[in-house]
Chain A
Amino acid sequence: MNDAPQIKPPPKAKSTLRSRLAAVWDSDLAWNFRHSPVAIAAATTTLLIFIAAFLAPWIAPQNAFDPGAVRLDDGFLKPLEVGSTGITHVFGTDSQGRDLLSAILYGTRVSLIVGFASVGFSMVLGVSLGLIAGFVGGRVDALIMRVADVQLSFPAILIALLVFGVGRGLIHPTQHERMAVIVLIIAIGLSHWAQYARTVRGATLVERNKEYVQAARVMGRTSGAIMGSHVLPNVIGPVLVIATINLALAVIEEATLSFLGVGVPPTQPSLGTLIRVGQQFLFSGERWILFFPAAALIILALAVNLLGDWLRDALNPRLK
């Protein structure tokens, strides 16, 4: 955004023998990265959050998903107070006596798992449909792109809510809790595929008339094989940029759905669920129950967003 990537100075005429690692270190992207303080800060923060979240079962003071580990008489402890189990609750506890730091670590993990899984799902779906649309063309192309157009004109959150509602309708009520995370992943994934499909279709249209595709055809390879092993590697670049930006969107979307009460069940809270719960104590004075999960979500969303923005600008050939 504001920190447009700087222009790389002409390479110095130095040794021609470089190891692979040095080549990576010297690449445009890495050079750009080293010279963008925002990118370094965002990447460091993102990495720290990822590590802390995925190590939650080992570093969290308490198992936040285990009702047995929580003592009800430890409820509403202020930050830095020591509970009856001997744990210092750095961020305090909630109404159930759950250690908030642990809840945030576990909650971030849930948010990230849903985020990564739904990005993966929408990427696979969007890339396949985009490949098919671009490669097959004709009516199939028109149909897929028309659906994508209509979907892109509706906000993602609305589509995710609809898919979530339909998904719940199709599943037996007793399975709701167990299936909630999967339904959530599908709902968020389905609301973002169109962007990938559009990008990949455009790239595929360029690729499909190139000689290597014709050569593969002459050799008698099937359409599926040509798409999968020849065209796909050539169109995947922009997809990864979209995926990074979409990770931030997916995390926010998950938080929003959980905040609305249609996301993950309260027994396995994500950041959005924690904020929803914390909001109830805003007026009674226990502000930390809301404050810390909200701060965690803001930092996570901001860091991934800035990283995605930087990556988009750095890989955009027009800005070079």
Chain B
Amino acid sequence: MIAYILKSVGQAILVLVVVAALAFSMFRFIGDPVANMAGQEASQQDRRELAERLGLNDPVPIQFARFLANAAFGEFGMSYRQGRKVSALIAERMPATVELAVLSALLATGFGTLLGVYTAIRRNSWGAHIVMGISLIGVSLPTFLIGIGLIYLFAVELKWLPSFGRGETVKLGWWTTGLLTPSGRASLIMPVLTLGFFQLTLIMRLVRAQMLETLRTDYVKFARARGLPESRIQFRHALRNTLVPVVTIAGLQLGSVIAFAIITESVFQWPGLGALFVQAVQFVDIPVMAAYLMFVAVVFVVVNLIVDLTYVLLDPRLKSSTAVVGGGK
């Protein structure tokens, strides 16, 4: 058990160091940091001083160690394009992305489980067929088209919802939230639907498949033989055992929700990290790209680690084996 936990933590740290090395080499070897920061009219003298001050003349391992130390405190230097600290940019935009990602993960897990149970229990009903059909379209359509479709319907035709931005936000310390104002809540609806839709279909299909399998097991048959009411069998006995893998997948999905947020944020001009990253890619703003890469890696690794550990707690059979759960999509 302890060996398993140590192994998981060790792997997580290893992955982080590898990603940090990638981010560092992007920062160090792509483009010329000095030329990017000093501007056109800097003299040779200025450039040398800047290189010295940035520590670019030190040996590469020392630079990497310094990069790691700074990264641990969330410091990635200055954005080439915006001339501001990357850490400040990230802090400013993180609340928008986290709010969007968490809400859509909740939506996807909640409705995904409900619809999955429904389509499994009423397998041959019209409703189940329609839901499955829609989910097939959801899996094969690109996210941005779903977003545009929603904008067309609710913003252009019906004029019910705003088509871009976060609306009014409220400051709570360094955190900003759109949940406390009517316009903020209205602005959240479409992005959350867009981002949650793909995850929802995925979780729904998973719950359905698991549920169908569980309903065939002996203990469910036994419960029926005992004459328990059908709803009690379905929700107390079958659903409980279905949920273990669902928790895992939902956890692992949170990571990809953050990445898919890139697309959603661009469609709705949502002022979050994903939109920042796309801009950084367009303008080759390496420090921002490196910081975003590290941010996503940390989220992935932490979520993976938590899922790994909860899995051991949920499934006692894993305690003795060294099987590693994870891998994501």
Interface residues of A (CB under 8 A from B): 1-2, 149-150, 152-155, 157-158, 161-162, 164-166, 168-170, 248, 252, 255-256, 259-262, 275, 279, 282-283, 287, 290, 294, 297-298, 301-302, 305-306
Contact = CB atoms under 8 A, between A and B. Distances in A.
A275 B145 contact: yes
Nearest to A261: B282
Given A168-B284, A282-B152, A290-B148, A161 B278 contact: yes
Interface stretch (B89-97, B119-127, B168-176, B254-262): B254-262
Scoring A152, A169, A279, A290 by chain B CB atoms within 10 A of each residue's CB, the highest score goes to: A169
Interface string B291-329: 001001000100010000000000000000000001111
B127 to A, nearest CB: 16
Contact of A255 (B142, B156, B286, B289): B142
A153 B148 contact: no
Given A152-B329, A161-B278, A166-B30, A283 B259 contact: no
B326 A301 contact: no
B24 interface: no
B259 A154 contact: yes
Contact of A153 (B137, B163, B289, B326): B326
Given A152-B327, A166-B30, A261-B282, 9 more contacts: A150-B19, A153-B300, A158-B262, A165-B284, A169-B286, A259-B263, A260-B144, A279-B148, A294-B145
Interface of A is mostly: helix
Contacts of A162: 281, 289, 293
Interface of B: 15, 18-19, 26, 30-31, 132, 136-137, 140-145, 148, 151-152, 156, 163, 255-256, 259-260, 262-263, 266, 277-278, 280-282, 284, 286, 289, 293, 296, 300, 304, 326-329
A44 B204 CA distance: 31
A155 B144 contact: no
Given A155-B329, A290-B148, A301-B140, A260 B260 contact: no
Contacts of A168: 281, 284
B148 A282 contact: yes
Contacts of B144: 255-256, 259-260, 275
Given A259-B144, A294-B145, A157 B263 contact: yes
